[in-house]
Amino acid sequence: MRKIILFLAFCLVPISFYGQNSYFIADTLKCIGCIVVDNGEYLNSQFCAVEKGSDIIKYTPEEVKEYGFNDGRVYISKVIHVADSIKKVFLLRLVKGKLTLYFYRGKEIKTFYWEKDSTSFFELPKYHRDRRDINFRDDLEYLTSDCKNVSSAIRLVSYTANSLSELVRNYNDCKPKPFANFRYGVLLGYGMNKLEMSSFHSNSIASIDFRYQGNVLPGIFIDYPIKMSDFSFHTDLYFTKSGYSYNSNYTEKDLLNKNSAFVANTTSINIPVLIRYTLPTMGVRPFLNAGIIYTFNISNNTGLYTSTIYPTYIESTESNVTSLITKNQLGFTAGGGIEFKVNNAHSVFIELRYNKLYSLPNEYMLNKSDIQLITGLNI
C-alpha cells in the first residue's frame, strides 16, 4: 500500500506543477515552471518569450506547440489565414471541450476560432466577408444545433471573449442554464417615503410626527453582468415628486399652546447603484440586490407656519425653512424580487426595495427613507 501511495504521489506532483506553473512545450523540449513573460495579447500571439537568467529567449509558433501562464491562460500554435496568406500563430484558448474556442489578436484584427471534436477548425468572424447579412450568431446556431438547451442564448450572445466563452461552456455541458446578457429597459413604481429628523433644532420641528407620503416613480434601468456570472451591476434613473404636509401641537416653556404646520414639495432625480445576485433558475428567477443611492433634489420648496394661542387671540408667523432639505442626499439601498421570463429577449421583474437617505452636508436637519414597489421590463 505504501508503494502505491508513493507512486501516485510521484505521478500527481508533476501534474500539479503543470497546472499551476507557467510552461512551454516544444517538439523535443518541455519546460514546466520556467518563467514565461507576458507581453500582452498581440505579442503573445507572435512568440513565446521565456526568461533565462538575464536573457529573454523568443520562440516562434513553429518552435513551440503550446505555452501557458500561472493564471491558467494557455496559447496553442495554429495555422490560420491572415490577409489572404497562411500564417502560424499562437491562439489564446478560451474554452476546451467538445467545442473549443480560441481568440487571436493580430496587429489590426481581433477574431475568434472554433475547433469541434478536434477535427474541424475554422474562424468565427463577426460578419462574413462576402455576406454581411450572415454573422457569427448564424454560425453558432449551426455549430450548436445538436444541443437545444443553448438555442435561446444564441440571440443574446455578444461578440466578446466572456460572452462567447460562456455560450461554448454551456454548449459543452448541454444543460439548461440562464444566459447572462446586458439588458436595459423601463421601470415604474410606487413609493412611500417620509422625512426624518437628523438632529434636534426646535420644538416647532421636533414635535412634528412625520408620516409616510406616496409618490409615483417612472424611470429607466440597465443591468450589466459581471464576468458572465449570476452577479450583475444594476443601476436605475428615476424621477419622484413628493408633497409633505404635517401639523403638530406642543407647549412651550411659557405654557402657551402652539401649533406648527410644515409644508414641503420636492422634485428629485434618483440614481441607485446596486450589485444584484439572481438565482440561476429557468423561467422564474428570484434576486437580491444592495448598494448605494444618490438623490438630487431639483426643487425643494418648504415652509413652516407657527401659531401661538393666547387667551384672547392667536398670533401666526411664517418661516422659510428651505435649508432643512438639502439639494444632495446619499444613502444605502437594498431589496429583492422576482424576475419572470416573457420570451427569449424580454422579461419582467417585480421588486420591493428600501432606501435610507442622509443629507449632504450633514448639518441639514431632514433625512429621508423610502419603501418602494418597482416593476420593470427589459426592452
The whole-number pLDDT of residue 7 equals 44
Residue pLDDT, tens place only, 115-139: 998 788 999 999 887 666 678 999 9
Residue pLDDT, tens place only, 257-293: 666 777 888 999 999 999 999 999 988 999 999 999 9
CA distance 33 to 26: 15
The whole-number pLDDT of residue 207 equals 64
CB contact at 8 A, 217 and 272: no
**Cell numbers given for 236:** 436605475
CB contact at 8 A, 217 and 191: yes
The whole-number pLDDT of residue 67 equals 97
The whole-number pLDDT of residue 204 equals 54
Q: Which domains does the chain have, with CATH numbers?
A: 2-124 (no CATH), 183-245+267-300+325-378 (2.40.160.20)
The whole-number pLDDT of residue 13 equals 46
Cα dihedral 187, 152, 138, 182 sign: positive
The whole-number pLDDT of residue 377 equals 96
The whole-number pLDDT of residue 253 equals 53
Interior angle at CA 81, CA 142 and CA 107, nearest 5? 110
The whole-number pLDDT of residue 153 equals 92
The whole-number pLDDT of residue 166 equals 95
Give me the residues of the chain with pLDDT under 50, please: 1, 3-19, 200, 203
CB contact at 8 A, 67 and 24: yes
Using alpha carbons, select from 56, 47, 37 the residue that is nearest to residue 87.
Answer: 47
The whole-number pLDDT of residue 307 equals 62
CB contact at 8 A, 368 and 329: yes
The whole-number pLDDT of residue 18 equals 45
